[in-house]
């Protein structure tokens, strides 16, 4: 997984009824775009994230694309 500053990080809900959590990558702390990432989520919360299998990176060209399957 690789990202750049400004990409969107989408953590998909793990259970029925749980919404996706979307944030903007504000800092890439790994080498060559690899995790960990500092992410600012829509609710204003900012945190360090090492994405798992339920996470997707939306690059600049994909940002307008709807979130979901």
- Does the residue 12 lie in any domain? yes
* pLDDT exceeds 70 at position 67: no
| Strand pairing report for 37-41 and 46-49 | antiparallel
Residue 2 falls within a domain, yes or no?
A: no
Q: Cα–Cα distance between 10 and 55 in angstroms, integer?
A: 6
Q: Is 9's pLDDT higher than 80?
A: yes
Looking at the domain assignment, is residue 43 inside a domain? Answer: yes
Confidence band, pLDDT 50/70/90 cuts, at residue 68? low
- Asked if pLDDT for residue 23 goes beyond 90, the answer is yes
Q: Please tell me the total count of domains within the chain.
A: 1
> Among candidates 7, 12, 4, 5, which has minimal Cα distance to 69?
12
Could you tell me if residue 3 is inside a domain?
no
What tokens were used for 12?
């998909």
Which residues constitute the domain of residue 48? 8-57
Extract the tokens encoding 4: 């750049």
Does residue 32 fall inside a structural domain? yes
| 47 domain residue, yes or no | yes
**Residue 40 is assigned to a structural domain of this protein:** yes
Asked whether residue 44 is assigned to any structural domain, the reply reads: yes
């Amino acid at each position: 997984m690789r990202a750049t500053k400004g990409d969107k990080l989408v953590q998909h809900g793990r259970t029925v009824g749980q919404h996706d959590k979307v944030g903007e990558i504000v800092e890439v702390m790994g080498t060559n775009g690899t995790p960990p990432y500092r992410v600012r989520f829509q609710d204003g919360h900012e945190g360090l994230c090492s994405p798992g299998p339920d996470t997707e990176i939306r690059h600049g060209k994909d940002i307008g694309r709807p979130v979901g399957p």
